[in-house]
Amino acid sequence: MNEQRVANSPDLRAWLGLLVVLGPVLLVAMDGSVLFLAMPKVTDALSPTAEQALWVLDIYGFVVGSLLIAFGNIGDRYGRLRLLMIGAAVFGAGSTGAAFAPTPELLITFRALMGLAGATLLPSALAVLGELFTAPRRRARAIGIFAATFAAGFAVGPIVGGQLLSRFWWGSVFLINLPVIALFLLLAPILLREVPATRPGRVDALSVLLSAVGLLLTVYAIKHAAAEGLAAAPLMSGIAGISALVWFARRQRRLDHPLIDLSLFRERVFTIAIITGLLPLAAWSATAYLTGIYLQSVLGLAVLHTALLALPGAAVLTITCIVTPALVERIDKRAALITCHFSIATGLLLLLPTNGTGGIGWYISSTVVAGIGYGISFSLVADTAVAAVPPARAGAAAAIAETSNEIGNALGIALFGSLAALLFRLQGPQLAGTLTETLLIPDIAPTVLGDAKAAFVTGLHAVTVAACILHCALGVLALFWVPRTRP
């Protein structure tokens, strides 16, 4: 009887369906950042090397980013609801395995499995919303809520992790996924409809392989060079990875049904928007990870205290993401994009006064100011991607948008994190690969400990300056590339 009533009320069914879809979306975003505050405890429990610690953080985002476009195409061809259900079940299984992983290698493996499942969820979830909300204004509102949820997931991930870590062991940050997944598997068949196949042809397996292998080999080379210096093996891996990515891009131009429609990038506004999906996530993930270590390991704050300090920035980010669609209606995308990048750049600069003895106020100010730009970026990217393509390409377009977010999230820790690791290796006391490992050395001299903390802060400052320069450059590019439009 209840199912019949829901089925006969299209508006109620659509909004309830949106709520059901947002559960997995929130989890996929949260799991990209939930470990930021947990890494010191993971290091204590599993003793990963510096390289393994970066892979624990990165492998999830890279698997999601590598496969998002492939699964967006699979959903377009074979049905999105079916893919959502399978992905949710696998995500729950991967979360359970990660929670109880006894070694760094197994934790990395289960995080990769979670990334595989997460890649099935995001593009199909956004495409299902297009089926639930056929009216353009309601669809835009639903996409705005979707983007805000995704942004909120990234923002609250460290906060939720900090709350759990203050009471339970580190694996609890994964077990919170299970109730949401169970509820989704129960309600999705009732509230969501299967979306008919909209694309012909098969998914090109070689393209999937090239994109995934190319990313992983390239990032492995960067990480290894930053942590241990240049060597023959990582150098060859880097060359092989870049070659695979070039082969992937050239292959897409020849395929009748490519994984990425590169012709979309001929539109400058679309290109700027997709880069806006990548770079802010790179800056956010890197600074969130590094400042989490800074507050705990340099300033000595408890994990719960660290989590609470992130609340103001998370609130600003989420609110900005929600109000951005209405803001763009009053101004235009050009002004919003320029505001996005220069507010992030300003927020990053506010981290420069931090030092080894204090800087909490500067940290909070940084997250609040930069949060405005992050919120604008999260909201604009999804809207631009879906609006730029026909409805039949909604899954693939959503995949490009979410890929830019996920790859940005992973690249931030991989590239910026590797920069910080390189500076720590060059300027630190050279007793261990990371600050966390250095702090675990027994009977370490106070002067040596001070040198290690100072080297870490230097790496944090270098990352903020590099990210700031990139955001200023992209802001200037938006100023010249993006045309003015009437509100």
Decide: 276 and 345 in contact? Cβ < 8 Å.
no
Q: In angstroms, rounded to a whole number, what is the distance separating the alpha carbons of residues 360 and 313?
A: 13
Q: In angstroms, rounded to a whole number, what is the distance separating the alpha carbons of residues 380 and 384?
A: 6
pLDDT at position 366 is 96
Evaluate if pTM is beyond 0.85: no
What are the C-alpha distances in Å from 265 to residues 12, 255, 275, 434, 473? 37, 17, 10, 39, 19
Q: How confident is the model at residue 1 (pLDDT cuts 50, 70, 90)?
A: very low
Q: Which two tokens stand for residue 13?
A: 């069914």
Q: In angstroms, rounded to a whole number, what is the distance separating the alpha carbons of residues 403 and 277?
A: 8
The whole-angstrom distance between residue 51's C-alpha and the CA centroid of its chain comes to 20
Residues 427-479 pLDDT 10s:
888 787 778 778 878 888 888 889 999 999 999 999 999 999 999 999 998 88
Nearest Cα residue to 412 out of 221, 279, 234: 279
pLDDT at position 323 is 84
Question: Which are the contacts of 291, defined by CB distance < 8 A and separation ≥ 6?
Answer: 351, 363, 460
Residues 189-235 pLDDT 10s:
887 766 555 555 577 888 888 887 887 788 778 777 766 777 788 88
The residue ranking higher by pLDDT, 386 or 267, is 267
- Whole-number percent of the chain with pLDDT over 70: 84
pLDDT at position 369 is 96
Provide DSSP, 250-288: HHHHH-SS-SS-GGGGGSHHHHHHHHHHHHHHHHHHHHH
Give the 3-state secondary structure percentages of the chain, helix then strand then coil, rounded to 5: 80, 0, 20
Calculated CA dihedral for residues 62, 98, 89, 65, nearest 10 degrees = 0
The residue ranking higher by pLDDT, 166 or 297, is 297
Mean pLDDT, rounded, for 152-174: 79
Q: Which two tokens stand for residue 27?
A: 């989890």
What are the C-alpha distances in Å from 359 to residues 47, 309, 346? 29, 12, 16
Q: In angstroms, rounded to a whole number, what is the distance separating the alpha carbons of residues 452 and 431?
A: 9
Cα angle at 161 between 380 and 142, to 5 degrees?
30
Exposed e or buried b per residue across 402-417, where buried means at least 16 C-beta atoms within 10 angstroms of its C-beta: bbbbbbbbbbbbbbbb
Backbone angles phi, psi at 257, to 5 degrees: -130, 75
Decide: 152 and 314 in contact? Cβ < 8 Å.
yes
Provide DSSP, 195-236: PPP---S---HHHHHHHHHHHHHHHHHHHHHHHH---HHHHH
CATH superfamily of 2-203+259-481: MFS general substrate transporter like domains (1.20.1250.20)
Question: Which are the contacts of 415, defined by CB distance < 8 A and separation ≥ 6?
Answer: 222, 282, 286
Q: How confident is the model at residue 278 (pLDDT cuts 50, 70, 90)?
A: confident
Kindly report the average pLDDT of the chain as a whole number. 81
Q: Which helix (H) or strand (E) holds 300?
A: none
pLDDT at position 140 is 67
pLDDT at position 150 is 72
Upper half-sphere CA count for residue 97 (Cβ side, 13 Å): 18
Decide: 289 and 54 in contact? Cβ < 8 Å.
no
Q: Where are the domains of the chain?
A: 2-203+259-481, 204-258
pLDDT at position 393 is 58
Residues 41-86 pLDDT 10s:
888 888 887 778 878 877 887 787 677 667 766 766 666 777 888 8
Question: Which are the contacts of 482, defined by CB distance < 8 A and separation ≥ 6?
Answer: 268, 269, 272, 333, 334, 337, 338
Question: Which are the contacts of 137, defined by CB distance < 8 A and separation ≥ 6?
Answer: none
Mean pLDDT, rounded, for 270-298: 86
